[in-house]
Amino acid sequence: MSDRTYGFGLVGCGVIAPTHAEAISRIENAQLLGVCDLNEDAAKACAAEHGAEAYTDLAEMLAREDLDVVNILTPSGLHARLGVQCADAGKHVICTKPIDITLENIDALIEAGDRNGVKIAATHQNRSYPVYEKVRRYIDEGRLGKLLYGNAFVPWFRSDEYYAKGWQGTKALDGGGALINQSIHYIDLLVWFMGKVERIYGFADALLHDIETEDIGSAVLKFEGGRHGMIQGTTCTYNGMPARIELHGTKGNIVVVGDEVALWDVEGDERIEDPMAGRAGGASDPKGGMQENAVVAHVKQIGDVLASIEEDRAPMIDGHEARRAVEVILSIYQASETGEPVVLA
């Protein structure tokens, strides 16, 4: 690492912004310089809270030469467009999830990064939770044997008020509902663990809320190598329940509920079974996932982007990696609309 300090800017000063600001404050070679929001009050409040300058005009913030990295934290459908603007200004870009809501937009953002020689990255904080890092290490080391099937279930709840007050659940800005907004954390983990998805059957519907996108999505997947998988993500579960990831290989079963181990039954390891496992997380509270563990994970992922700049390599979750979960989710929507399975290239 050089002794250089990287100047950061945030675009979008809503629910997720304090997590990024706090993470940046904990990274030694990072400093938050500016925050930008179309809502001046939101920008000023965030700036005052985190010791940065407030902007309502992104171009003005991007004109700062001491700004190196911009974190895009606006409604999802704006990520790529704003990211391209930042990349064209020579800034590295870190988008919160989802990196964007269409593959065309994501590809344009990746291309803008290549064209301008800047990094394009995304935060999917769950990948940096110790429990999932350990799962990933076990898969890499072959300790689960041959992976056979894996599932992700996200039985969460969001209220009518949640959908009524914002951009969530709209096609234009959320790009979907329960799958692309909430369940993406666990869909991203599933594809990270299980590998490339080859074929998808799916349904997406609004069963409980009056929204133009889905509050429940269900899918059956075939991964490379013939492995099976299932996804079910909702925001209509009574009271909300913790998310659940299940992985099954020839040498082990792992079940993680609410980011805690519920079952660890792996050859050669002491068996763990914990029926009480399962933090509520974002199960019924949109801010419920924004705890200390999320901040620590953001420190790792934002810190990795700075390391990737110094080491001239791709970030851990670059544009291509972040695109994978979005591609699966959009394929579930397509399968639901057409009634036909989707074969991924």
Ligand X SMILES: NC(=O)c1ccc[n+]([C@@H]2O[C@H](COP(=O)([O-])OP(=O)(O)OC[C@H]3O[C@@H](n4cnc5c(N)ncnc54)[C@H](O)[C@@H]3O)[C@@H](O)[C@H]2O)c1
| Count of residues that bind ligand X according to CB under 6 A | 24
The b/e string for 36-51 (b: 16+ C-beta within 10 A; e otherwise) is: bbeeeebbbbbbeebe
Q: Which one of residues 6, 69, 70, 74 is an interface residue with ligand X (CB under 6 A)?
A: 74
- The C-alpha angle with vertex 304 and arms to 131 and 10, in degrees rounded to 5, equals 105
| Residue from 9, 18, 34, 75 binding ligand X (CB under 6 A) | 75
Residue 271 Ramachandran class (φ > 0 left, ψ -120 to 50 alpha, else beta): beta
Is residue 73 close enough to count as binding ligand X by CB under 6 A? yes
Least separation in angstroms between CB 107 and ligand X: 18
56, 83 Cβ separation under 8 angstroms: no
127 DSSP 8-state letter: G
DSSP character at residue 278: -
Residue with Cβ nearer ligand X (248 or 298): 298
| Nearest residue (beta carbon) to ligand X | 14
Give the separation between CA 14 and CA 33, rounded to whole angstroms: 17
**Closest by alpha carbon to 206, among 230, 227, 239, 176?**
176
Site map (CB under 6 A) of ligand X, residues 286-325, x = contact: ---x------------------------------------
Smallest separation, CB 99 to ligand X (Å): 9
Nearer to ligand X, 209 or 248 (CB): 209
Of the candidate residues 12, 176, 177, 319, the single one contacting ligand X (CB under 6 A): 12
Q: Could you give the string, one character per residue 85-104, with x where binding to ligand X holds by CB under 6 A and - elsewhere? A: -----------xx-------
Are the C-beta atoms of 122 and 319 separated by less than 8 Å? yes
Distances (CA, A) of 213 to 47, 208, 285, 326: 34, 11, 20, 15
If the CB atoms of residues 148 and 296 are measured against ligand X, the closer one turns out to be 296
Interface with ligand X includes 39 (CB under 6 A)?
A: yes
Decide if residue 37 touches ligand X (CB under 6 A). Answer: yes
> By the criterion CB under 6 A, which residues form the site for ligand X?
11-16, 36-39, 42, 58, 73-76, 78, 96-97, 123, 125, 166, 181, 289
